[in-house]
Structure 1
Amino acid sequence: MATRATKKTVKKAAAKAVKAVKKVVGKEAPTPAAVRLPALHESTTSSGLKVLAAQRGVLPLVAVRLIIRAGSSVDPADKHGLSDFTARLLRRGTAKLSADELDETIEFVGASFSVGSSEDVLSLFVATPAEHFPEMMSVLGQLVREPSFPEREVELARERALAGFVNDLDDPSVVADRAFNRALWGEHPYGHDVGGSKAHVRTFTREDLVRFHRERMGPRVSLLSVVGAVSPDVVAREAEKAFAGWEGGPEAPVELPPADMKTSGRIILVDKPEQTQTQVRIGGPGFRVGHADYFPAAAMNNVLGGGFTSRLVNEVRVERGLTYGIHSYFEMMNAGGVFGISTFTQTDKTREMIDVTLAEVAKVRQKGITPAELKKAQRYLAGLYPLRTETNESVASVISDIRVHGLGDDWVEKFRERLMEVKPKQTVEVATKYLFAQPPLIVLVGKASEVKKQLTGLGPVTVVPASDYE
C-alpha cells in the first residue's frame, strides 16, 4: 500500500509497467493454431463410475482427476467444512495401508496425489509415470472406497484446522473474503467458507467423516478423467479393478436452490483496530457456470478490471496511487455466481477508493466498452486460452469441468470462435445486467473508528468484530 511519501513513485512505476504491457498487448497477434482436445473414450465401471480416457502425448506420463459432486454445498447444516475436512483425511489411511505406507508407496514410484474441495465438488488428483498407472489407480480406488479415518489422524487434523482459523484472523484479506461470501450468499449452501468455521470444525468426529463418506461420496455422483500415455482399453480395465464394489453416495447430485442475493446497498464493516489499511470488497449477483453471458462478460470484465491494463487499474492505481492492486471478476458455480471487486487502500483513503471504483463501474454500465477495447480483450483472452490445454493435468481438469458443468464437448474447440463473435452491443447488455444496477454489497475490513465516519451516505452500516469470522 502506498503512503503519501511514495505515491508519486508508485504512480510513475505503475504507469511505466502499464505502458510496457500495452505495447505488447496492443500489437496484432497472429492467428493461433486451433485448440482441440484429444479424442475421448467413455466407459462405465460395474459400480456405476463414469470414466473418460484421452490418450495424449509422447511423454510416459499420466494425469488422473476424480471428481465427486460432494463439495462444501452439501455440508450438513451444523458441520460446515466437513467436505473439505473429509477430503484431507482421505490420504491418512485406508483399510490396507497406513498414512506412512501410502506416502511411501506413492513417493517410491515418483507419483503425486493431492485433494481439494470447492463449493460444488471434491476432487482427487494423481500424476504418475505411465508404467505405474495400474498401481496408482489401485491406490486411488482404496482412498475413495475404504478410507480408514484413523482417530488419531482426525484429532491432529482438527487441531491443525483450529490453529489455522486463529492464524487467519491475522490476515485481513482472508477475513474480508469470508465476510463478503457470507454476506452475499446468506443462508444459501454457498454461504459458508469451504473450510468451515471454528465453531463447526471443533465438533468434527471420526463418525462425522464416516457418515459423510457413506452418504455423499459414491460412484454415481463421480467422474474419472484419465489423460496421457495410456490406452483407453487399459484405462477402462484398471478403472474397473480399482473401483469395483464401490458403494454409497446418492443416486444423483444434490439439486441446489438458485441464488437469491439481496445486496440493497448494505455495508459490512469488520473491525480490526490495529489495521492501517482497509480491505475492500464490492459485489453483487453474477451468473452460473456455463451461462450464455459468459463470453461477452469475460471480454467486458477484462477491460473493466480483469487485466493489468484495465480501466480500474489505470484509474485507481496509476492515476491516483490508491493501491498496488485492484481487480474485478466473475465467480461462477453450478447454482449461481458473483460479480465482485477486490482491493485495499490506506485507512484514510477508504471513501475515495470506494467512490472512484464505483464511478468507473458506472461508466462501463452506462456506456459499455469501446470497439477497440473489445478487440484488444478478445485477442488477449483468445491468446491465453491454449495454456489451459498444455499439460495432461490441465486437459484432465478441462474434460471434467466440461462434463460436470454441462458445457458441451465442443467447449474447447469453439471457445475462441465464440469469444471473437462477441459484439460491442453484447458487452453493453451484460454491463447493464451485472455491474451494480442495484446498489452493491460493500464489505470493509479495517479500523472501524476511522472508517465508519467516511461512509456517510453510502448505505446502512453494520459493524462486526473480526472474531465473527474465525
Structure 2
Amino acid sequence: MATRSRATPKTKDKSAASRPLKLPTATETTTSTGLQVMAAERGPLPLVAMRLVLRAGSATDPKDKQGLADFTVRLLRRGTERMSADAIDEAIEFVGASLAAGVSEDLMSLYVTTPAEHFPAMLSVLGQLVREPIFPEKEVELARERSLAQFANDLDDPSTIADRAFTQELWGDHPYGHDVGGTASHVRTFTREDVVRFHRERIGPKGALLVVVGAVKPEVVAAEAEKAFGGWTQPEQLELLTVPPLERLAQAGRILLIDKPDQSQSQVRIGGPGYRIGHPDYFAATAMNIALGGGFTSRLVNAVRVERGLSYSVGSYFDTMSAGGIFAISTFTKTASTREIIDVSLGEVGKVRKGGITPRELKTAQTYLAGLYPLRTETSESVASVLADIRVHGLGDDWVEQFRDRLRAVTPKQVKTVAAKYLYPQAPTMVLLGKASEVKKQLKGLGPVTVVPVSEYE
C-alpha cells in the first residue's frame, strides 16, 4: 500500500491535500461464466484503463516449479488461437494502446490502456490472451533462455541476490518464500506442458476481477465483457488457493552471510514480522515508518547517511501481502563498516520501539502522506488499480474517502503501540552479502552465523 512520488511544490501539495477524495461510482456485474466486472465512467479524456486481476500469483507456483506464474504471464501475449504474437503487438500499437502484465505474490494482473473508441477491440484482445493462449514451443524456449540469461546477469548484482536470499530466509517454506521470478534451477526445467497445465488449472474466471475505468458507459462495459469473456470456462481449474497465514518467520534470529569474495561492500538486510494488507495497524505503522526510515529526512537516513556517511542509501519499509507481511531495513556499506551500520540501524529502531516518535515527527508524516495520496486517484489507470485493491483485499468501499481522516486520527500512543509490536521485539533475521572472511569476524554477539557461497543463488 506504499506510494512513491517526486516532490511537488508546496502550494500544489496543499491543494491536493485539502480537496475531497472520492472515487467515481462503480457498477458491478458478472459475466455468464462468473467473471466479476467493475465499471466506473470517468472523463474528460477519451481514454479507458483496464485491469484484469487473477488469483494466480507466485504463491500458487508448484513447489518444484518456482517462478512458473511469472513465466506464464509473460507468455500470454506470445500468440493465441486467433492471433500471432506479431499480430497482437501490431493490434495494440496501431490504435495507440498499451499492454502490460505482471505477477506479485498474491495476484497475476494484466493492464491495458486504450483510446475509448477502440475499447471493444482491446477488450477482445485481452480476453483472447487469457482464454486461448497457445504457448508456441519456440516462444517457451526463447522465454526460458531469456530468463536464464537474466539470472546469470543477476549474479553481478549483489543487491538482487541479497533480496532473493532475504525473502527465502524470512518466509522459509511458506508459499511466499521464493522470489516471484523463481530460481535458475527451477526455470531450467520449465516445459510447454508445465505452462499449459498452469494456465488450465490456475487462470480462469473463478475469483477473477475485471476493472474498467474511463470514458465508457458501464452498460457498454458489461456487454463487451460478456462478448470477450462469456465463453471463458476452465473445467479443470483447481480450487482457489488460500495462502496460509504466517505463524512466525521461519528464521528469526538467524544471520545468513553470503560469501562473495570480490566485494568491497556489504549488502545488509534486516527483517522481522509485519502485517497483512488491510490490517488495522496500517495507518499508525505507515506514519511511524516515515519517521523511522521511509522518508528523506527520517531517523535512519540522518543517523546512517548524514551524521556518519556509512551509506548513500538506507531505508525501512513494510511489505504486505494477503496472508502476512514483514518489516525490513535495507542498506549497504563498505566492508569495514558492516557491523557499525548494523549497530546504528538497530539502535535507531530500538529508540523508536521504546519511545515512539515525537508529535512533530508524526504531524510531518501525516502531512506528507496526506499530500501524496491524492495522486492515487489522478488517472484512470490509478483509479482502476485502487478499485481492484479495494475489492480483492477487502479494504472497504470507503478506503479512499476515509484514508486521510484515518491517517490524521493516528495518535502518538498508537504509534508507540505499533512500534513495540513490529520493530523487532524479538531478534531479527539478517542477510548479509559481502566478503565473508572480513565480515564474519565483525558479527560476534549478534547470533548464529551461517556462511554460504554466492553460487547457491545461481
Which residue of the partner structure matches residue 420 of structure 1? 408
Q: Which residue in the other structure is 2:33 paired with? A: 47
Deviations 1:247-306 (A, max 9, x none): 116475311111131443211001111111111000100000000100000000000000
Q: Where do 1:389-400 residues align within 5 Å? A: 389-400=377-388
Structure 2 CA distance for aligned equivalents of residues 469 and 284 of structure 1: 22
How many corresponding residue pairs? 447
Alignment partner, residue 466 of structure 1: 454
In percent, how many aligned pairs have the same letter?
A: 68
Q: 2: distance between equivalents of 1:466 and 1:42?
A: 50
* Structure 1 residue 454 corresponds to structure 2 residue 434: no
Aligned-residue offset at 1:39: 0.4
Report the Cα offset of residue 469 of structure 1.
Answer: 1.6
Residue number in structure 2 paired with 1:3: none
- Establish whether residue 341 from structure 1 lines up as the match of residue 314 from structure 2: no
Residue number in structure 2 paired with 1:257: 244
Distance 1:351 1:292 in 2: 35
* Distance (Å, rounded) in 2 between the aligned partners of 1:258 and 1:125: 28
SS in 2 for 1:213: helix
State the match for 1:83 in structure 2: 69
1:125 aligns with 2:145: no
Equivalents in 2 of 1:263, 1:112: separation in Å? 42
Instruction: Report 1:402-417 matches (<5 A).
Output: 402-417=390-405
Aligned match for 1:362, one of 347, 350, 355:
350
Is the Cα contact below 8 Å between 1:169 and 1:175 reproduced in 2?
yes
Corresponding residue number in structure 1 for 2:3: none
1:142 aligns to 2:154 (yes or no): no
In the other structure, the counterpart of 1:283 is 271
CA offsets 1:32-60 (integer angstroms, 9 cap, x no match): 10111000000000110000000001111
Q: Which residue of 2 aligns with 1:237?
A: 223
Map residues 279-358 of structure 1 onto 2, 5 A cutoff: 279-358=267-346
Partner amino acid for 1:378? Q
Letter in 1 for 2:348: E
Give the secondary-structure state (helix, strand or coil) at the position aligned to 1:42: strand
Gaps of 5+ in 1: 1-20
Q: Secondary structure at the match of 1:43?
A: strand
Indicate yes or no: 2:164 matched with 1:178.
yes
Equivalent position SS for 1:270: strand
Structure 2 counterpart SS, 1:219? coil
1:376 aligns with 2:364: yes
- Give per-residue Cα distances to partners, 1:59-103, cap 9 Å, x unaligned: 110000000000000001110000000000001000011101111
Selected match of 1:192 from 153, 170, 178: 178
Deviation of residue 439 (structure 1)? 0.6
The TM-score with structure 1 as length reference comes to 0.93
Aligned-partner SS, 2:365: helix
Give, in whole Å, the separation in 1 of the partners of 2:107 and 2:239: 13
How many Å separate the matches in 1 of 2:253 and 2:206? 42
In structure 2, the residue matched to 1:96 is 82
* 3-state DSSP of counterpart to 2:178: coil
**Shift in Å, 1:221:** 1.8
Q: Give 1:116's aligned residue.
A: 102
CA distance in 2, matches of 1:281, 1:251: 36
CA distance in 2, matches of 1:262, 1:373: 33
Runs of 4+ in structure 1 over 4 Å off: 27-31, 249-252
* 3-state SS in 2 of match to 1:221: coil
Task: State the one-letter code of the partner of 2:255.
Answer: I
- What RMSD over aligned residues (CA atoms) do the two structures have, in Å? 1.4
- Secondary structure of residue in 2 paired with 1:52: strand
- 3-state SS of paired residue (2:77): helix
Distance 1:178 1:330 in 2: 16
Shift of 1:338: 0.5
Q: TM-score when scaled to structure 2?
A: 0.96
Offset at residue 29 of structure 1 (A): 4.7
Aligned equivalents of 2:240, 2:365: Cα separation in 1: 36
User: 5+ residue gaps in structure 2?
Assistant: 1-6
* In 2: Cα distance, 1:439 partner to 1:148 partner: 49
Match of 1:107 among 80, 83, 93: 93
